[in-house]
């Protein structure tokens, strides 16, 4: 479906110079909209999947943090893309802005916790930090 | 032009994330993350979200990644290879998730195309509009003020957490 839409968008782009004089048909416009939206969705989906993969595969707590950052960015990209192509105005951007600020705060706290874990356990391997107190 | 920018920044974002995943060294991974976040900022610009792109650049590329690099320097001693079972397990789960995501996105896009809506008009500069929405029209005044309290709490919390414990406790 997405591949077909991307091909559609490509075809539309090819046909665009001829149709420039006449008003584009509604179906053509809808195809172009779905095509642009789908390309952003593909990038966002890839970022999300790579973030999840990093979290699942790595054992270093810092990798987990970086994976979370990737996932947050993927979600933000979706917010902005849907707001842009859905005509929702600023709402998507405002939400993404607050997510960026919260992510910065989260990173600061998480890194403080990581440093503390490193001091207490001598390692930030998330499979070895298995006790609350010693 | 916009398509070209999308290709450059989208490629940068995905490539950076891929290097973070595949490269064994965490320092290389952190710098690849910088590239990836830069790509996402560029994608915001192609979407007409100029202020958000700037904020992303300052907060993420300038702030969060510097914090991450400091933490990498302070804690990590050696790079580690990923063990094979974890790799296979991760690839399986991510593949499943990807298939499901593809399906969901296809459904959404089918709805979008069936709605027959055209491309919205080109976006205007957003900085003044965001300022108005935050303070003058006060649509987002409460979250704006809540964020300032949250930042104070984070500041104090980070200092308290990261401080070494002294003899007298706390």
Highest mean pLDDT among A53-62, B9-18, B154-163: B9-18
- What is the number of domains present in chain B? 2
Tokens for A42, please give them: 């593909």
Probe site for chain B from A3, A87, A90, A126 (most B CB atoms < 10 A): A90
pLDDT band at B75 (very low <50, low <70, confident <90, very high): confident
A71 vs chain B: nearest CA distance in angstroms?
10
- What value of ipTM does the predicted structure carry? 0.87
Report d(CA A76, CA A133) in Å as an integer.
Answer: 37
B contacts of A104 (beta carbons < 8 Å): 59-60, 63-64
Tokens for A103, please give them: 């992510």
What pLDDT sits at residue A75?
Answer: 95
CATH of the domain at B93: 1.20.120.1200
Report d(CA B37, CA B17) in Å as an integer.
Answer: 9
Placement of tokens 């709402």 in the chain: A91
CB B148 within 8 A of CB A112: no
Strands (E), chain A: none
- Give B79 or B135, the one with higher predicted confidence: B135
The answer on B53 and B37 residing in a single domain is yes
The answer on B131 and B116 residing in a single domain is no
Range of the domain at B23: 2-125
The answer on B163 and B130 residing in a single domain is yes
Alpha-carbon A9 to chain mean position: 22
The answer on B53 and B13 residing in a single domain is yes
Instruction: Give A22's DSSP letter.
Output: S
Report d(CA A94, CA A76) in Å as an integer.
Answer: 10
The answer on B19 and B31 residing in a single domain is yes
What pLDDT sits at residue A14?
Answer: 57
B contacts of A54 (beta carbons < 8 Å): 20-21
Tokens for A88, please give them: 């929702």
The answer on B72 and B53 residing in a single domain is yes
The answer on B147 and B82 residing in a single domain is no
The answer on B63 and B9 residing in a single domain is yes
End-to-end CA distance of chain A: 54
Cβ of A63 and B29 within 8 Å?
yes
Probe site for chain A from B55, B158, B164 (most A CB atoms < 10 A): B158
What pLDDT sits at residue A134?
Answer: 58
The answer on B36 and B111 residing in a single domain is yes
Report d(CA A76, CA B108) in Å as an integer.
Answer: 17
3-state secondary structure of A21: coil
The answer on B62 and B83 residing in a single domain is yes
The answer on B77 and B33 residing in a single domain is yes
3-state secondary structure of B16: helix
The answer on B166 and B84 residing in a single domain is no
């Amino acid at each position: 479906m997405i591949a077909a839409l991307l091909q559609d968008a490509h075809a539309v782009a090819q046909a665009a110079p001829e149709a420039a004089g006449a008003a584009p048909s509604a179906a053509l416009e809808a195809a172009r909209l779905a095509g642009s939206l789908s390309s952003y969705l593909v990038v966002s989906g890839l970022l999300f999947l790579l973030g999840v993969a990093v979290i699942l595969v790595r054992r270093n707590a810092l990798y987990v943090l970086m994976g979370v950052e990737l996932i947050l960015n993927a979600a933000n990209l979706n917010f902005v893309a849907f707001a842009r192509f859905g005509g929702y105005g600023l709402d998507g951007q405002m939400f993404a802005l607050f997510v960026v600020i919260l992510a910065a705060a989260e990173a600061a706290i998480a890194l403080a916790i990581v440093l503390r874990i490193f001091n207490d356990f001598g390692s930030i391997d998330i499979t070895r930090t298995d006790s609350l107190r010693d | 032009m916009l398509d070209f920018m999308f290709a450059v920044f989208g490629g940068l974002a995905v490539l950076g994330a891929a290097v973070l995943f595949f490269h064994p060294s965490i320092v290389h991974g952190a710098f690849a993350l910088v590239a990836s976040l830069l790509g996402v900022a560029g994608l915001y610009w192609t979407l007409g979200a100029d202020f958000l792109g700037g904020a992303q650049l300052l907060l993420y590329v300038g702030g969060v990644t510097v914090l991450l690099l400091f933490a990498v320097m302070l804690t990590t001693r050696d790079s580690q290879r990923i063990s094979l079972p974890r790799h296979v397990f991760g690839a399986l789960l991510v593949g499943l998730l990807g298939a499901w995501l593809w399906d969901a996105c296809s459904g959404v896009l089918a709805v979008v195309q069936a709605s027959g809506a055209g491309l919205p008009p080109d976006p205007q500069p957003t900085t003044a509009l965001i300022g108005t929405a935050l303070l003058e029209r006060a649509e987002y005044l409460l979250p704006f003020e809540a964020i300032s309290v949250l930042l104070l709490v984070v500041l104090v919390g980070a200092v308290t957490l990261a401080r070494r414990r002294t003899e007298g406790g706390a």
